[in-house]
Chain A
């Protein structure tokens, strides 16, 4: 098996150099999620910035996939709208459930397409999704999102 298909350079780069890591001073919503099979942990926080865009903060510990996924999430969604975050989140969740057969849309997913290979490893899908599930919860908590709809 070739490890490079799982651990794309983008993933390793985000793992080693996480973007936007750290918690917010005044979060509107905050969610702590764990992956009970391996103990990966993520706290994801949301607030509004001065222009009304999403302000995101996170902290956590875990494997490269879970932590890089959180970093990519923040880079993609920070400053955008809630609608945009929801669209990207749904696309990411769909990609993760495609068992490696998904055609990722780079327009929507940006760096997150690097996780396409993760979908072939069922044990790692949860790691990749952890931050995204926590984001959804944090947005609901903040009152920015009302539905908990799953694709």
Chain B
């Protein structure tokens, strides 16, 4: 296990008390992680010493700011085994996934004018299909529904088993010659399931489809090398991995990044502009219109360095130990049912559960009254809840700064909720 006491000391917010003096027990890192002082300092220092508009102007600060921004890109790309010019900064994973979805719908619209200039892999129409899974976050579901509405393509999904794993028995028929895009979540934010994305991406490539991975819940929690995922595009958010809000990432192969038309257009993303038309800069600039989130990139790079110092294998081991402990503790509670894989095989540390006779909102409220912060609701995965026959769940999602005492506090809170509502 990691040295949690030392790590906790690096996170000022974890010293807080809430709800009338209760020490904060933060178990909602699946939603967003807390930030270590190193990240806060990096942002502050950037604003105190380096702040200027990047990729514009030639004064000293503009150069320093541009260097800081591009150095951050290198650090963050290196963290996932990528080249810096293959990493696009966005606002968050939702924007990264929309960037890809809009590349498809924009390419489809543009191909109507000039089919020759557009990569046919991105052009969708009736008869084509997009394949996702039944455990997607809304961020990797709704954008594809919209692409289907605009292009006439059909949305398909890999179904779930009752335990909350992917049922891949129909993989080869679901992903077929009609399939143009396959977009799947690496680790489910609600179920904790880790999916065999390599196998799914390989199948996507067999039929010539573009493969996309939503790595929002994997990059912060385990070693990830984007090349090993076998995808064309990988999306994740900075704020779930110690970084500031307002920065997300999209990695892509040079080939796909060159082929995709831009999502947002305007300044900083152009090569040549006349009154009639414009040409675009190569990726990643093509996808970074307007003044970018420089301080956030610098902050995220500091977060990445913090994780690298711990070592992502150690982070994954730590979370694995916490997941084992949490699953055992919950299994021992009468009236508590885990929603998602019951074992730690191919499973992360985000653990959802329901309590008989209690709504998750009420469970969360009792935990909150004891200073324990967990997420309740459908976790932006409403269809997943429906499939598993629960209206909502309570989710414990620990991170590097949590230990078994924190899990014990959550478990004690669940028992207190059962007592308060008279269901146990």
State whether the Cβ of A147 lies closer than 8 Å to any Cβ in chain B. Answer: no
Q: Is the CB of B385 within 8 A of A39?
A: yes
Looking at A6, A7, A63, the one whose CB has the most chain B CB atoms below 10 A away is A63
Kindly state whether residue A82 has any CB partner on chain B within 8 Å. no
Query: Does B199 make an interface contact (CB < 8 A)?
Result: no
Contact B359 A64 (CB under 8 A): yes
SS class, residues of chain A in contact with chain B = mixed
Instruction: Report Cα–Cα, A65/B365, bound state, in Å.
Output: 11
A62, B382: Cα distance in complex, Å: 14
B20 surroundings in chain A (CB, below 8 A): 1
A63 touches B362 (CB 8 A): yes
Q: Are A38 and B376 in contact (CB under 8 A)?
A: yes
The CA-CA distance from A121 to B420 in the complex, in Å, is 18
Interface string of A86-110 (1 = CB under 8 A from B): 0000000000000000000000000
Given contacts A37-B377, A39-B382, A41-B391, contact A65 B361 (CB under 8 A): yes
Contact status A62-B391, CB under 8 Å: yes
Q: B22, B369, B377, B385: which contacts A3 (Cβ < 8 A)? A: B369
Is the beta-carbon distance between B361 and A3 smaller than 8 angstroms?
Answer: no
Whole-angstrom distance between the alpha carbons of A62 and B97 in the complex?
A: 31
Contact (Cβ within 8 A) B378 A39:
yes
Cα-based distance from A124 to B369 in the complex (angstroms): 14
Interface size on A, residues (CB 8 A): 21
Name the residue of chain B whose CB is nearest to the CB of A6.
B365
Instruction: State A19–B156 Cα separation when bound (angstroms).
Output: 42
Contact with A along B364-396 (1 / 0, CB 8 A): 011011000000111000100100000110000
Q: Is A40 an interface residue (CB 8 A)?
A: yes
Of residues 1 through 52 on chain A, the ones whose CB sits less than 8 Å from some CB of chain B are 1-3, 6-7, 12, 16, 37-41
Sample (15) of A-B pairs whose CB atoms are under 8 Å apart: A6-B365, A7-B365, A7-B420, A16-B422, A38-B360, A38-B361, A41-B391, A62-B361, A62-B391, A63-B360, A64-B421, A65-B361, A65-B362, A66-B361, A127-B361
- Interface set of A (CB-CB < 8 Å, partner B): 1-3, 6-7, 12, 16, 37-41, 61-66, 121, 124, 127
Closest 7 CB pairs of A and B: A63-B361, A63-B359, A38-B377, A1-B19, A1-B369, A39-B378, A39-B392
Give 14 new A-B contacts, CB below 8 A, not counting A1-B22, A121-B365: A1-B19, A1-B368, A6-B365, A7-B362, A7-B420, A12-B421, A16-B422, A38-B360, A38-B377, A39-B377, A41-B391, A63-B361, A64-B359, A124-B365
